[in-house]
Amino acid sequence: MTTEIPKPSRWLPLLLAIAIFMQMLDATILNTALPAIAEDLHESPLNMQSAVIAYALTVALLIPLSGYLTDRFGTKKVFLVSVALFVAGSLLCAAAPNLTSLVLARVVQGVGGSMLVPVPRLTILRVYDKSRLLNAINYAVMPALIGPVLGPLVGGYLVEYATWHWIFLLNVPIGLVGLLVGMKIMPDVRGEQNRLDVGGFLLFASAAAALTLAVDIVSYPNAAVFSLLLASGGSLLLWRYYRHAQTYPQPLYAGHLFKVRTFRLGLGGNLFSRLGISSVPFLLPLLFQVAFGYSASVSGWLVAPIALASLAVKPAIKPLMARFGYRAVLLWNTRLLAVLIMLLALPDAGTPWPVWTMLLLAMGACNSVQFSAMNTLTLADLRPYQTGSGNSLMAVNQQLAIGLGIAVGALMLQLWRNSSIVGQDLHAAFQYTFIGIGMITLASSMIFRRLHMSDGSNLTTRAEK
């Protein structure tokens, strides 16, 4: 049975704000530092994608467990353990002597990160009256918008004026504050202990891990056959999970979710359009520092406009949807994003910085429109009994898209880098890669053509991830 809901502290949204800020800062600070980390660990900067993918994949695979664990062990215990694991993983990352150790440490960090935001968010949903819920959520998610702006800048200056280790050590004091505040104000709320679909979780997690790893390792020497086996196995496991969800009484993700047309299309559009979008923040710092020879701090300043524009354009999204409709906005915005990604192939090392700034501001604005539109439309037509499972699957889908997008971008870069077409011209390899991921983004717009003109017409603004 559900426990009695305690009266929440007025500072509870602060706890969610701390958790989101720590996670978003960590997610955006690393990309700028990858070239410096690669140099210190004696690795090629073009082979560092595993450190990013490991975290995103771990978070994606474990998000479904957050609801079950909080129902069984209580929100307070799960939150405190997640923060402790995130801090411990950060310390292990800072102490990593090689890439393998860093990847394993990022997995530990991802275990904590998978619960870091869902648990306090779930707590707020359970303890606040509906009349106070919107204000609490809005206050808490502001760091999610600020973190991506600060991340590239902080990462660039830490690498340039300290060492790369500090991008992970920075999580320690923030995490300790989160632990202290959590012990004081986090209520210990439990829910009904529903049965966990262990078989479904293992099937889905194994399928997602196999498919992501298949893309990540295919460019390694003599790994093509193993990659093909992983892709085949992952596809088979995914099909097996779909069959499992049709018959299991309480599956991890119910099969009836995919009977909702807007959810099905929104989920597919979310995945495939994010493949190109997610690879850009990974590729740009490499382009600036490795191909152009810019400093880490300059690289941070050049990447920051993406997040800044995303924050600035928020108030205009609802009127835009009301004026043109979700189908038209998603269709043309996806195409515009594809063009902007391909335009990244044009500037060179001598291009004035204002040109980069205008291009990346436009990309950030389009990103914000894309994410808000896709997220709200995906959940728009779900029934109340479907929203929990649907929201969880959408969050997992987004994290998988980040990992797959980085893997696809890194794969394309490696293939062009090793091809006879570009030879030793590293900038040319980046140019062909941007054109390639732009074409993927352009192709993803075909998914949104299947939307109806009336889809989303009755929607009100919902919070973005």
Torsion angles phi and psi, residue 229, rounded to 5:
-65, -40
**Token pair of 106, please?**
């990022």
Does residue 423 register a pLDDT over 80?
no
- CA dist 245 and 237 (Å) reads 12
**Token pair of 307, please?**
């997040």
Q: What is the pLDDT of residues 295-304, one digit of tens each?
A: 999 999 999 9
Does residue 178 register a pLDDT over 80?
yes
- pTM metric for this prediction: 0.86
Residue 241 vs residues 55, 272, 358: alpha-carbon distances, Å: 23, 21, 45
Amino acid identity for residue 304 in this structure: A
Closest residue by Cα to residue 445 from 333, 315, 361:
333
Looking at residue 465, its pLDDT comes to: 42
**Token pair of 200, please?**
């479904």
Average pLDDT of 185-194?
Answer: 74
Average pLDDT of 379-385?
Answer: 76
Looking at residue 131, its pLDDT comes to: 59
Residue 5: pLDDT band with limits 50, 70, 90: low
Looking at residue 426, its pLDDT comes to: 92
Looking at residue 132, its pLDDT comes to: 64
Hey, what domains does the chain have and what are their CATH numbers? 1-194 (1.20.1250.20), 198-251 (no CATH), 255-465 (1.20.1250.20)
- 18-32, 171-185, 417-431: which has the minimum mean pLDDT? 18-32
Q: What is the pLDDT of residues 250-292, one digit of tens each?
A: 888 877 788 888 888 989 999 999 888 889 999 999 999 999 9
Q: Is 327 exposed, middle or buried (0-12, 13-18, 19+ CB in 10 A)?
A: buried
Average pLDDT of 346-359?
Answer: 93
Looking at residue 459, its pLDDT comes to: 62
Helices 49-62, 12-40: axis angle to 10 degrees equals: 150
Q: What is the pLDDT of residues 290-341, one digit of tens each?
A: 999 999 999 999 999 998 898 888 888 888 888 888 899 999 999 999 999 9
Residue 460: pLDDT band with limits 50, 70, 90: very low
Q: Is 421 exposed, middle or buried (0-12, 13-18, 19+ CB in 10 A)?
A: exposed
